Structure 1
Amino acid sequence: MLQACRRDLLPSDPQTREDYGFERAGEFASELLGLFQGLTYIKRDLTAKELHRWRKDGILVQKIKEVFYSYPEQHRGGYFPWFLQNQWVLDGSEPIPEEHQPEALRDRMMKKAWERIGRDQSTELRSWPEGKQECFWHYAMICSSSHPPPDMDMWLRGGYCVARDEYHEMQVSRMYIKLFETCTFEEYYSAYKSNTTGDRISREATHRLVIPSPIFSLVLKRCFINDTMEPAVNVDYGFFNCKTPAERDALAHKYRAVFQAKDFDEVKLHEACMQGKIFEYVKERVSMTKEERKMMKRLMKNPYPLRS
């Protein structure tokens, strides 16, 4: 949690998000992060161990109040007054207000998306092809300044899995924000179906955004994986070997872990792919349990090197 405060990024670790209220906070996640940043600013000697103890002892809310009340009111910032009105975010004994329930948040997210699209098509949504529904929910998230979590297919298919960390994941999200400013939803879905979304984003990124790595656009494009499109990509990087969604998610997470490794090199990974040695490259940079090694060795197999 303290690391997220220092980096000014919302925590992405599922357990951290659950432990420190970010799952309950929903659309107030940024305010909650600001509260914790204020806490660490006032109590500069706060350690992760102490913060963890407060939470485990059930006194986190009490301690946050004590720290802020010890500071001059005019210097407490705006997040503490917000917290006093929304203590349910961290106090699990309080119910989540009806207007902040997941269903209500989803409805508001959909409303923003339909307004952007031009008309409400809620009654038609369920009859849309699965891919179009995925695109809509992704579009709706972006319109609400959010993006898919790792447990959603679009986290993989939308290219978020290539992000080295939370900062670069937000960069991918920003690319979509810019993209949706220049194209309609139907144009986005058409590009998604034809597997050219990566090209559109790459052009947008080249003109407006800082690319996280020299060939980030190439890696991003490769992550638009669809069973009926770009079959070579599925085969090259092992997704073709996945028998279940859980295996595909596990493989995607290992790739993300290697993207975050200090000595990661996209070109070296591609070379390892062409030599049929992806697993050998990844295992040197990512820790795995015995069971994970066995699974990844199977999933990362590909037909390379090709025999002449």
Structure 2
Amino acid sequence: MRWLHQQDGFATGAVHDLWKGIQSQLHLVESRDRKIPFDQWKPREKLEAYIFFYQISNGFVPDTDEDNWIFLGFCTARDHHGVTTLANLYRVLIGKCKFQEFWKAMEQSDMVGLFKKYGLGHAIPQLRNFGTLMNVVGTWYQSVWELKRFTRLPTVEPMQAVALDYGFYNCQTPQERMALRRMYAEFFDRGGDEMKLHLACISGQLAFFLLLELQKLPVSADLLSNPYPLEQCGYMGMVVENAALCSESNYELVKKLYDEKGEKVVILTHPDEKDEGINEGFIERLQFLRESVRIRMTDVQGVTVKEMATIS
């Protein structure tokens, strides 16, 4: 919906063809979905795929501020040529696959499998980091992609994951924050490898890595410190939409119950014996969710689960 309103003239009602074009695609979806407004479709991948089908068929590609810029891997493109290459591959793909296949591949992090199914798998190795991102993005993704987005948008503050992982929490002045942002922008503009930056982040080696990449550090190395590495932490540098926190001994039970409900949740665990300080540490780190966060306690067959989700 944000993308629709950003198109020239659409928000003011001056252009109606765009809306008609969007509506003309309803044959792609099941009859039950046609009876409700498409911005209420669930899961979200169905709506995002629907908008993308219209975009890519009419010469558009997802812009930096759209979810599909990350969810469909356009963030991995090194430059405009890379964006064009990926867009052309998607045009071929949607000409071969069914809409249902496409949005389910998004939901199940299996877009690479869909490319391979329709004879486009040969292109994946040429798309740096595309396969790595698309194999996980339906569940979670590396915060480096939000860092890259931040360097390209007129946003003053980065999201919490980026602030914590990439040093912005260390900035004391706007000048420091801007210098840090310019440094990362330079790294991406040079075609720097995002996943190598992510690995440097979660190993606590940002300053060393960026010094090698840029030949100099335009900011103090102190600004590039972060809490990593962390022992036995499988979500370092990751962004999720929905998470649940439970004790290690209850993991299998909680996983089974969420599977039965058909809810897609990243289940994180803490040691059975913990103090409140450790618990609060988990909760603080879970503030890396994409938007504002809802936290609630749920009792599942006598097991207390702390649920965290973004509020759209």
Give the TM-score taking structure 2 as reference length.
0.46
Question: Greater helix percent: which structure?
Answer: 1
Give the TM-score taking structure 1 as reference length.
0.47
| Rg larger in structure | 1
